[in-house]
Amino acid sequence: MLTVTNEIWLSIIFICLTIATFSQFTGASTTEETNMASFQKKYPPPCVMGDESIMSPKAHGTSPNPVQNDLRWGCDFETADRICNFNRHYAEHAGYWEGKRSSATFLKEEGEASGEITFFDSNTGKPLFVAPKGRTFAEFVSESRAHGWPSFRDNEVVWENVRVLPNGETVSVDGTHLGHNLPDRKGSRYCINLVCVAGRPEGTPAAAIEEKW
Protein backbone atom coordinates (compact mmCIF):
# COMPACT_ATOMS: atom_id res chain seq x y z
CA MET A 1 0.00 0.00 0.00
CA LEU A 2 2.88 2.34 0.86
CA THR A 3 4.55 1.52 -2.44
CA VAL A 4 1.39 2.41 -4.35
CA THR A 5 1.08 5.74 -2.49
CA ASN A 6 4.68 6.65 -3.29
CA GLU A 7 4.16 5.83 -6.95
CA ILE A 8 1.07 8.03 -7.00
CA TRP A 9 2.94 10.93 -5.41
CA LEU A 10 5.81 10.49 -7.85
CA SER A 11 3.34 10.53 -10.72
CA ILE A 12 1.72 13.71 -9.40
CA ILE A 13 5.13 15.40 -9.03
CA PHE A 14 6.12 14.33 -12.55
CA ILE A 15 2.88 15.71 -13.99
CA CYS A 16 3.35 19.03 -12.14
CA LEU A 17 6.93 19.35 -13.38
CA THR A 18 5.80 18.58 -16.93
CA ILE A 19 3.09 21.25 -16.78
CA ALA A 20 5.53 23.80 -15.36
CA THR A 21 8.11 23.02 -18.04
CA PHE A 22 5.50 23.27 -20.79
CA SER A 23 4.29 26.62 -19.46
CA GLN A 24 7.86 27.90 -19.35
CA PHE A 25 8.49 26.99 -22.98
CA THR A 26 5.11 28.38 -24.02
CA GLY A 27 5.98 31.67 -22.32
CA ALA A 28 9.39 31.76 -24.01
CA SER A 29 7.77 31.21 -27.37
CA THR A 30 5.32 34.01 -26.73
CA THR A 31 8.18 36.31 -25.71
CA GLU A 32 10.10 35.48 -28.87
CA GLU A 33 7.01 36.18 -30.95
CA THR A 34 6.58 39.50 -29.14
CA ASN A 35 10.22 40.39 -29.77
CA MET A 36 9.88 39.50 -33.44
CA ALA A 37 6.70 41.58 -33.66
CA SER A 38 8.56 44.55 -32.19
CA PHE A 39 10.71 44.64 -35.33
CA GLN A 40 7.59 45.15 -37.42
CA LYS A 41 6.71 48.71 -36.50
CA LYS A 42 4.25 51.24 -37.75
CA TYR A 43 5.79 54.67 -37.41
CA PRO A 44 3.56 57.64 -36.53
CA PRO A 45 2.38 60.21 -39.10
CA PRO A 46 3.40 61.95 -41.20
CA CYS A 47 5.60 58.90 -41.93
CA VAL A 48 4.16 56.98 -44.89
CA MET A 49 4.52 53.21 -44.59
CA GLY A 50 5.28 50.89 -47.49
CA ASP A 51 5.52 47.14 -47.99
CA GLU A 52 8.16 44.70 -49.15
CA SER A 53 6.84 44.64 -52.73
CA ILE A 54 8.53 48.01 -53.33
CA MET A 55 11.92 46.31 -53.05
CA SER A 56 11.14 43.30 -55.21
CA PRO A 57 13.84 42.31 -57.77
CA LYS A 58 13.76 44.38 -60.93
CA ALA A 59 15.91 44.83 -64.04
CA HIS A 60 18.80 46.25 -61.99
CA GLY A 61 18.69 44.90 -58.45
CA THR A 62 15.77 46.52 -56.65
CA SER A 63 15.58 49.32 -59.25
CA PRO A 64 14.75 49.43 -62.96
CA ASN A 65 18.12 50.99 -63.84
CA PRO A 66 21.57 51.98 -62.51
CA VAL A 67 22.26 55.26 -60.74
CA GLN A 68 22.98 58.41 -62.72
CA ASN A 69 26.41 58.88 -64.27
CA ASP A 70 26.97 62.38 -62.90
CA LEU A 71 26.03 62.25 -59.22
CA ARG A 72 26.29 65.44 -57.16
CA TRP A 73 28.83 66.27 -54.50
CA GLY A 74 31.54 63.99 -55.89
CA CYS A 75 29.69 60.79 -54.95
CA ASP A 76 31.24 57.62 -56.33
CA PHE A 77 29.18 55.81 -58.99
CA GLU A 78 30.05 52.23 -57.98
CA THR A 79 29.49 52.87 -54.28
CA ALA A 80 26.17 54.53 -55.02
CA ASP A 81 24.97 51.82 -57.38
CA ARG A 82 25.87 49.06 -54.94
CA ILE A 83 24.16 50.67 -51.95
CA CYS A 84 21.12 51.95 -53.84
CA ASN A 85 20.33 48.88 -55.90
CA PHE A 86 22.02 45.76 -54.51
CA ASN A 87 21.71 46.26 -50.79
CA ARG A 88 19.11 46.26 -48.03
CA HIS A 89 21.13 46.62 -44.84
CA TYR A 90 24.53 48.19 -45.36
CA ALA A 91 25.66 51.78 -45.84
CA GLU A 92 28.44 54.06 -46.97
CA HIS A 93 30.97 54.37 -44.15
CA ALA A 94 30.29 56.87 -41.36
CA GLY A 95 31.54 60.31 -42.31
CA TYR A 96 31.50 59.60 -46.06
CA TRP A 97 29.04 62.44 -46.59
CA GLU A 98 31.44 65.01 -45.08
CA GLY A 99 34.49 63.84 -47.03
CA LYS A 100 36.09 61.48 -44.52
CA ARG A 101 38.01 58.91 -46.59
CA SER A 102 35.82 59.82 -49.56
CA SER A 103 35.60 62.20 -52.48
CA ALA A 104 32.36 63.74 -51.18
CA THR A 105 32.28 67.53 -51.46
CA PHE A 106 28.91 68.24 -49.83
CA LEU A 107 30.30 70.45 -47.06
CA LYS A 108 32.54 72.29 -49.51
CA GLU A 109 29.69 73.06 -51.87
CA GLU A 110 26.84 73.69 -49.44
CA GLY A 111 26.34 76.09 -46.52
CA GLU A 112 23.92 78.52 -44.91
CA ALA A 113 23.74 80.43 -48.20
CA SER A 114 22.38 77.31 -49.93
CA GLY A 115 19.04 77.66 -48.16
CA GLU A 116 16.80 74.62 -48.45
CA ILE A 117 18.69 71.93 -50.36
CA THR A 118 16.77 69.38 -52.41
CA PHE A 119 18.16 65.85 -52.33
CA PHE A 120 17.20 63.81 -55.41
CA ASP A 121 16.98 60.05 -55.93
CA SER A 122 20.30 58.86 -57.37
CA ASN A 123 18.40 56.55 -59.72
CA THR A 124 15.38 58.52 -60.89
CA GLY A 125 16.13 62.14 -60.05
CA LYS A 126 12.89 62.47 -58.06
CA PRO A 127 13.05 64.78 -55.01
CA LEU A 128 13.26 62.80 -51.75
CA PHE A 129 14.32 65.25 -49.03
CA VAL A 130 14.47 69.03 -48.65
CA ALA A 131 16.68 70.29 -45.83
CA PRO A 132 17.23 72.10 -43.64
CA LYS A 133 13.63 72.96 -42.75
CA GLY A 134 12.75 74.51 -39.42
CA ARG A 135 16.43 74.58 -38.42
CA THR A 136 19.68 76.07 -39.61
CA PHE A 137 22.21 74.45 -41.91
CA ALA A 138 24.60 74.31 -38.94
CA GLU A 139 22.01 72.39 -36.89
CA PHE A 140 21.44 69.96 -39.75
CA VAL A 141 25.19 69.36 -40.06
CA SER A 142 25.63 69.01 -36.30
CA GLU A 143 22.99 66.30 -36.00
CA SER A 144 24.27 64.50 -39.08
CA ARG A 145 27.85 64.57 -37.78
CA ALA A 146 26.72 63.20 -34.42
CA HIS A 147 25.30 60.12 -36.14
CA GLY A 148 27.71 59.76 -39.07
CA TRP A 149 25.16 60.13 -41.88
CA PRO A 150 22.83 62.86 -43.19
CA SER A 151 19.88 62.90 -40.79
CA PHE A 152 16.47 64.16 -41.84
CA ARG A 153 13.26 64.81 -39.91
CA ASP A 154 9.62 64.19 -40.87
CA ASN A 155 9.04 67.69 -42.27
CA GLU A 156 12.10 67.34 -44.52
CA VAL A 157 10.84 64.22 -46.32
CA VAL A 158 9.07 64.38 -49.69
CA TRP A 159 6.48 61.75 -48.78
CA GLU A 160 5.16 61.51 -52.32
CA ASN A 161 8.36 59.65 -53.22
CA VAL A 162 9.53 58.05 -49.95
CA ARG A 163 8.28 55.06 -47.96
CA VAL A 164 9.33 53.38 -44.71
CA LEU A 165 9.06 49.61 -44.37
CA PRO A 166 7.95 47.97 -41.09
CA ASN A 167 11.57 47.19 -40.13
CA GLY A 168 12.57 50.84 -40.52
CA GLU A 169 14.24 50.54 -43.92
CA THR A 170 13.68 53.80 -45.78
CA VAL A 171 13.30 53.52 -49.55
CA SER A 172 12.10 55.42 -52.58
CA VAL A 173 8.83 54.42 -54.22
CA ASP A 174 10.91 53.18 -57.17
CA GLY A 175 13.00 50.71 -55.13
CA THR A 176 16.08 52.76 -54.20
CA HIS A 177 17.48 51.82 -50.78
CA LEU A 178 18.06 55.08 -48.90
CA GLY A 179 18.82 54.20 -45.28
CA HIS A 180 16.80 53.59 -42.12
CA ASN A 181 14.40 55.35 -39.77
CA LEU A 182 16.09 55.40 -36.36
CA PRO A 183 13.76 57.34 -34.04
CA ASP A 184 15.04 59.21 -31.01
CA ARG A 185 13.38 61.33 -28.31
CA LYS A 186 12.58 64.00 -30.92
CA GLY A 187 10.72 61.53 -33.16
CA SER A 188 11.56 59.81 -36.43
CA ARG A 189 15.09 60.40 -37.70
CA TYR A 190 15.92 59.25 -41.20
CA CYS A 191 19.57 58.20 -41.36
CA ILE A 192 20.30 58.39 -45.09
CA ASN A 193 23.23 57.57 -47.37
CA LEU A 194 24.42 60.63 -49.28
CA VAL A 195 25.21 58.47 -52.32
CA CYS A 196 21.54 57.49 -52.52
CA VAL A 197 20.23 61.06 -52.60
CA ALA A 198 22.87 62.68 -54.80
CA GLY A 199 20.93 62.55 -58.06
CA ARG A 200 20.17 65.39 -60.43
CA PRO A 201 16.64 66.21 -61.58
CA GLU A 202 17.88 66.38 -65.15
CA GLY A 203 20.25 63.42 -64.74
CA THR A 204 19.97 60.27 -66.82
CA PRO A 205 20.66 56.72 -65.59
CA ALA A 206 23.89 55.01 -66.62
CA ALA A 207 23.47 52.83 -69.68
CA ALA A 208 24.62 49.67 -67.90
CA ILE A 209 27.12 48.33 -65.43
CA GLU A 210 28.09 44.82 -64.39
CA GLU A 211 25.18 43.10 -62.64
CA LYS A 212 25.81 42.23 -58.98
CA TRP A 213 22.38 41.00 -57.94
Q: What is the pLDDT of residue 41?
A: 78
Least confident of 27-31, 109-113, 129-133, 186-190: 27-31
Model confidence band, residue 144 (pLDDT cutoffs 50, 70, 90): very high
Q: What is the pLDDT of residue 8?
A: 53
On the question of pLDDT at 26 being above 80, the answer is: no
What is the C-alpha separation between 178 and 149, in angstroms, rounded?
11
| Residue 34 or 196, more confident | 196
Render pLDDT for 149-180 as a digit per residue (tens, 0 to 9): 999 999 999 999 999 999 999 999 999 999 99
| Residue 144 or 7, more confident | 144
Q: What is the mean pLDDT of the chain?
A: 85
| Residue 204 or 213, more confident | 204
Q: What is the pLDDT of residue 207?
A: 56
What is the residue type of 47? C
Three-state SS string across the chain, please?
CHHHHHHHHHHHHHHHHHHHHHHHHHHHHHHHHHHHHHCCCCCCCCCCECCHHHHCCECEECECCCCECCCHHHCCHHHHHHHHHCCCCCCCCCCHHHCCCCCCCHHHHCCHHHCCEEEECCCCCCEEEEECCCCCHHHHHHHHHHHCCCEECHHHECCCCEEECCCCEEEECCCCEEEEECCECCECCEEECHHHCECCCCCCECCCCCCCC
CB atoms within 10 A of CB 159: 14
Mean pLDDT value of segment 91-97: 96
Report how far apart the first and last C-alpha atoms of the chain are (Å, whole number): 74
